[in-house]
Structure 1
Amino acid sequence: MSSNTILSLVTPTISSPGVGSGLDVNGIITKLMAIESIPMRNLQKQQSGLQNEISALGQLTSSLSTFQTAMQGLTTAQLQA
């Protein structure tokens, strides 16, 4: 047996899926990254919704405070008139 034959039996063949196989490796990676980012986008949407609710509650609190101040300015006599 020649040394080349022995070497070819011992040396593993290195292959890379996608290279020369027609697979769109970049497209696959892009799609996988998009899928992986879905949970983060959902959390960001949830965060945005919660921030909107907090803002609305702040506006309601401010309006109620203004109303309370206006009501405190009224006297009983004014209410009975």
Structure 2
Amino acid sequence: MSKVHSWEEVAKHNTEKDCWVVVDGKVYDVTSFLPEHPGGKKVVITQSGKDATEKFHSLHGPEVLKEYGPKLHVGNVEPKSKL
């Protein structure tokens, strides 16, 4: 069972030294991947601590998550409140 992180917890991971992003409700710790990102680390850091789903899918195909997702996945994020 995956750990469920709150949005508040995800938001704390928003620096180059501690960088999480959410894609499709899954939380990824991409800190170790930053130096490898073909578009540079800055573009990823701007999405850190947030839901990057729309931006991610506009720039990447599904094969990226298939390749890198399993080793970077640290849990899921709680559903956003509809209030």
Query: What TM-score does the superposition give when structure 1 sets the normalisation length?
Result: 0.18
Task: For CA contacts below 8 A with separation 6 or more, give which structure has more relative contact order.
Answer: 2
Name the one with the larger helix percent.
Answer: 1
Q: Which has the larger radius of gyration?
A: 1
Query: What TM-score does the superposition give when structure 2 sets the normalisation length?
Result: 0.17
Name the one with the larger strand percent.
Answer: 2
